[in-house]
Amino acid sequence: MKHTFVIIAILLIAKTISAQSHQLISPNERLVVTINIDNGLVYSVQKSDITIIQNSRIALKTNKFTEATFNEKPTVTQTNSKGEIKPLWGITSGITDEYSQITLSYPENVSVQFRAYNSGAAWRFTTEIDGELMVFDETAEFNMPLESTVYYPETKSFLTPFEPNYLPNDVSKIDNDKLAHTPIMYTTPQQHVVVISESNLFEYPGMFLKKTGKQVFSGVFPKYPKKEKQEILGRWRLVKWPQLSRMVVKSTEDFIAKSEGKRDFPWRVIMIADSDVDILNNTLVYQLANEPTMDFSWVKPGKVVWDWYHNWNLQGVSFKPGINTQTYKYKIDFAAKHGIEYVNIDDGWSKLWDFNRINKDLDVEKVIQYANEKGVGIFLWAMWNTIDKDFTAHLDMFQQLGIAGLKVDFFDRTDQRMVDFINRLAEECAKRNLLLNLHGMYKPTGIDRTFPNVVNIEAVLGLEYNKFSDKCTPEHNLTIPFVRNIVGSMDYTPGSMRYMPPETFKKSWDNPHSMSTRAQQLAMYIVYHGGVQMLADSPTLYEQDEIALNFLSKVPVTWDESIPLVGKIGEVIVIARRYGEKWYIGGMAGTKEQTVKFPLSFLKNQKYKASLITNGDNASDLKTETLELDSNQNFEHTIPALGGFVMAIEKDIE
């Protein structure tokens, strides 16, 4: 992957607004970060004279210096930078990376960098210290306006699958000490949309948030593990369920991180937009991550035929479906016939704790060879702690098997030990040309920029919840694009072909239904994004719907350009995305019918023809029609409650 940067760095005297305060102004001059150094380090953020973050404290406590360091007077410098990032895959083929930066350098060889972008603000610590650095605590406050509405993904502990509902609540109604994992989102009284997260997470635990004051939320971090054990049923090896065989922390050290003293710390990221729709193209987490240092030209995004969601059920076949050779050969034939790049072999191909104890009904080597002959790649599922038992040997084995990638699961933690493992896994898989799809995993922190072989990350309450829960609601599906998907790729695993409205919904392990229509499920392939996208349901169900299968066979997963058109958190979303010369538009509605209207000026003054897919006369069905479009037009469409639409647009050559 090639990156071309044009950097302009000018040493400036930071703009001083008092003897102890400095202002950092974004390139478009609308966003201002005010930094006060009078009594410790305090920052605030305004956009268009509206307060986004009120005075909030920053500090770091280590074995080399304490919070008192930030009471000292720093040397202050400012630089400006403008460049271009060329992602290998994602929602756009080019990102303008422009910001202003202030660096505060303190006597103990620690600095704090603040950046102001048009799309938000960020800060991080850097150190130039000899020897080992141990971090005991970090102060990272986010003091939001009291009248804000916050989408706060609560969790009871640091042990979590990172699969929340993002439910709106008044800031004042969240109890003190309530823990949540990031990202969180809030809307200000003036309707600015703000997402708090982090980027470039290396040698450090992931950030959670806890309410510590009337409207103050503070970063909290899991401590470094001292002792960890496989959960008891897994240690006895008497259990089939992976969640009962995961590794948990039994005791911890008194510090949160340890590393070499010369280092950059993770960025604390505040993504800011003027409206719901404007947040959808925010790429700040990606921009702040490290550039790749390896060749990733071999990485191939694509779609994946999944197995676990529909419990390996195939209808009308001549063999008994299940975790067996015949079932996977059938799925491979389906993928090859319809241009689907990958097939996933999920839990059950081997024992959870031993990759050499393979399911007697499944000839894994034969299936992989068959797939490769058909031009289809195979993803193999594995628990991270099983890989870790013989890390190098296991990765070498997977490479020698000839698979395309690994789906690694049940991390369920974000302490430094886990973060280090994931970054090492990404790097070592890259050396072996192995893709990674990470499940039971914390949210993206720009890892897909540093390691583009990490082609998707779960960290979302996805379609699979329909098997065992009623939490995958229409409101949830219309919330996650605004808060979870904007921090990075999201493996929601769309594609349900069975619909059941919320009022009659029943969970089913073998034949799960979604609470959104088939048309909305198709729209998710445009609205949601990730480097690989699952086709969650049974191939035999797709084969019964020519409209759905034709769309799924052709829709891309990576894009050259993305334009959000309509957006209201929890209610409605419409996004246009371009791949090459072809445009796709996807729209989704929540529990209420939505009439959307938007200009087609992005089509560049040409006449186009479009294939429109919408809900059929029966909500479980689809219908399609051909339209003629003109870039001078506005397009208007009514999306029924729980419904959606997709439109594929190309130039009219006649």
Q: Name the one residue in this structure whose structure tokens are 């049923």.
A: 233
The helix or strand, by DSSP H or E, that contains position 421, with its residue range, turns out to be: helix 416-431
**Cis before residue 189, ω within 30 degrees of 0?**
no
Q: Name the one residue in this structure whose structure tokens are 């380090």.
A: 41
Token couple for 553 = 């066979």
Strand blocks (E) in 323-431:
342-345, 350-351, 354-358, 377-383, 405-409
Asked if 388 is an active-site residue, the reply is no
* CB distance 593 to 644 below 8 Å: no
Q: Name the one residue in this structure whose structure tokens are 């009219």.
A: 652
* CB distance 394 to 355 below 8 Å: yes
* CB distance 279 to 273 below 8 Å: yes
Residue type, 582: K
Angle at which helix 416-431 crosses helix 391-401, to 10 degrees, equals: 40
Token couple for 207 = 């950030």
By three-state DSSP, how is residue 339 classified?
coil
User: Residue 282, Cβ neighbours under 10 Å: how many?
Assistant: 21
User: Residue 68, Cβ neighbours under 10 Å: how many?
Assistant: 11
> Which candidate in 409, 458, 475, 571 is catalytic?
409
- Please give the torsion angle defined by the CA atoms of residues 155, 156, 161 and 167, in that order, rounded to the nearest 10 degrees: -20
* CB distance 199 to 267 below 8 Å: yes
* CB distance 622 to 548 below 8 Å: yes
* Nearest residue to 151 via CA among 426, 513, 484, 468: 484
* Nearest residue to 558 via CA among 536, 580, 575, 573: 580
The helix or strand, by DSSP H or E, that contains position 379, with its residue range, turns out to be: strand 377-383
Token couple for 312 = 């390996």
By three-state DSSP, how is residue 225 classified?
strand
Angle at which helix 364-373 crosses helix 391-401, to 10 degrees, equals: 50
Classify residue 184 as exposed, middle or buried by CB count within 10 Å of its CB (0-12, 13-18, 19+).
buried
* CB distance 36 to 54 below 8 Å: no
Asked if 464 is an active-site residue, the reply is yes
Token couple for 421 = 């493992």
**437 half-sphere exposure, CB direction, 13 A CA radius:** 30
> Which candidate in 67, 138, 415, 464 is catalytic?
464
By three-state DSSP, how is residue 532 classified?
strand
* CB distance 181 to 208 below 8 Å: yes
Which residues participate in catalysis according to the annotation? 409, 464
